[in-house]
Structure 1
């Protein structure tokens, strides 16, 4: 893991040293930073994505905020289980949910780790989403070391976000 500049260095976090910055491959919206972590599999459908998105703060907290932000991420009828609270800190909350993706290679379960980091002083929610594709589905309360490892990674990314330049927010 190493410190990585986001949004031109206005924000930093830690990311794995071998992460792929998707903005070097295709255009990404100005409010987002998107990264890929390639898995050892030759199946690109199993690559993990991390999306960091600057969003206007929504009213409420925890269940209300996650519900509001999920509307933009996944259709309610596509959620197989969750959102389930994973951890909570002062201004950071993390949820896990399951959805799926159909591909020519078959159906994949997609575990979405959705973390909300709130900055009320700038009326901004930083949404950190990780999509963890799995060929072999896991149940809601099932322990899986690979999934646990990925959840620890996204927790580290979320906990290490630091705003270095508030000018990004017009302050």
Structure 2
């Protein structure tokens, strides 16, 4: 059973529940001002909350928001876009945000290209991504919540993971639980934050 703590983000302007076993990466290394990064002390999973400029023209709707979600995903994976498979995309409701604020979540996997020159054996077999996008049109801001779940050989049960069959395995299952807890607990305490960062 995962234990959570209510975690202030961006100086307390945002809050959400994060797993207690996740450490604040900014205490270890430099993190960009528009990001909060937490990493599992016992594993490889990371949670990144990022405030970015809103993608796309004014106005919403599934089509525009879907394009924005795709754009953000492509920016996340960079040159590896052709190694990404999106398994599903759903509309997401945050408990503490106005229900008119659109939010979407996708689950994707990114499989690294084989590199014959690389001697690294610790490269993951694949990395699962749970990406949630919150569209704040008035603030001209997109909030991205990304949970990265690297699957490294020997660190997970390969028999348990087959997303085509709906088998998520323990690591992705845990990450889905973290995401659901974030949706339930995420709250904006200071809307002025979006004027400062965006």
TM-score by length of 2: 0.74
Q: Which has the larger radius of gyration?
A: 2
Could you say if the C-alpha distance between residues 139 and 18 of structure 1 is closer, same or farther in structure 2, counting changes exceeding 3 Å?
Answer: closer
Distance 1:48 1:28 in 2: 17
Instruction: Give the match for residue 150 of structure 2.
Output: 133
**Any unmatched runs of 5+ in structure 2?**
94-98, 115-119
- In structure 2, relative to structure 1, the CA distance for the partners of 1:106 and 1:163 (3 Å cut) is closer
Extract unaligned runs of 5+ from structure 1: 40-45
- Residue 32 of structure 2: aligned partner: 29
Change (3 A) 1:66 1:111: same
Distance 1:77 1:169, change over 3 A: same
Q: Distance in 1 between matches of 2:131 and 2:30?
A: 23
Shift of 1:105: 2.9
Answering whether residue 80 of structure 2 is matched by residue 56 of structure 1, we say no
Match status 1:95 vs 2:106: yes
Aligned length: 164
User: 3-state DSSP class of the match of 2:11?
Assistant: helix
How many angstroms does 1:92 deviate by?
A: 1.7
1:161 aligned to 139, 163, 186, which one?
186
Pairwise CA RMSD: 2.1
CA gap 1:138/1:83 in 2 versus in 1, 3 angstroms: closer
Return the structure number with greater strand share: 1
CA contact (8 A) 2:124 2:150 kept: no
- If the length of structure 1 is used for normalisation, what is the TM-score? 0.84
- Cα deviation 1:57-105 (Å, max 9, x = unaligned): 11254421111111211131121x2152145335221001111347423
CA distance in 2, matches of 1:143, 1:78: 20
- How far apart in 2 are the matches of 1:151 and 1:62? 21
